[in-house]
Amino acid sequence: MTRFHQVTERMEVAAASARRPISELRLLAVSKKQPIERIRSLAEEGQTSFGENYVDEAVAKMDELADLALEWHFIGPIQSNKTRTLVERFDWVQSVDRIKIVRRLNDQHPGNRPALNVLLQVNLDGEAQKAGCAPEAIASLAEAVAAAEHLILRGLMAIPAPRDDPQAQADVFGRLRGYFDELAAAYPSVDTLSAGMSADLEAAIAAGSTMIRVGTDLFGPRPE
């Protein structure tokens, strides 16, 4: 069984345990630092959505894989000087966390591309080294995205601090789900909760995540 089928089978088991249809879930392959041949191989197995953390690396991969119909997500911290490239090359940006970035993404959108799908990154644990807005900033940030002509507010993304205890995982994802439900009640376009990685995807799926982000378990260890 390939790594791809191991991960998708694990998602299917978790969805069944949570009494959710697997059709509600999407898998995002986190391909940062992974070589082109591994991405191409995974695409041949049926994976179409890929997440990248570094803009320049991602653009080089997009160019090399232009023959494939792939969907590209940016999931890393956003630098102001990279926003033009984000709107010109990516389909989704999952890590929007401040008003300045919302304005730059909208103002620099070329207009001849579809509207950019946006997730707000929430810093659930207040970690100073991690990107993401504070939970209390979600409402104002969402309002800015919703008012932007070239952006579509799709939901929330979070990378909680690692927790080994299943109940602790459930608690933090439950808190995130609460924020998501409030957002979805206010904005009809909101349909995506990007949460859960290799170590905690079961807890994330049980809490209502719709997009799981997996890297090494799909690709194998990154080359040195």
Contact 16, 5 (CB under 8 A): no
Distance CA 199, CA 114 (A): 34
Is-above-0.85 flag for pTM?
yes
Q: Tens of pLDDT along 58-70?
A: 999 999 999 999 9
User: Fold for domain 3-215?
Assistant: TIM Barrel (3.20.20)
Provide the pLDDT for residue 129: 81
Round the average pLDDT of the chain to a whole number and report it: 95
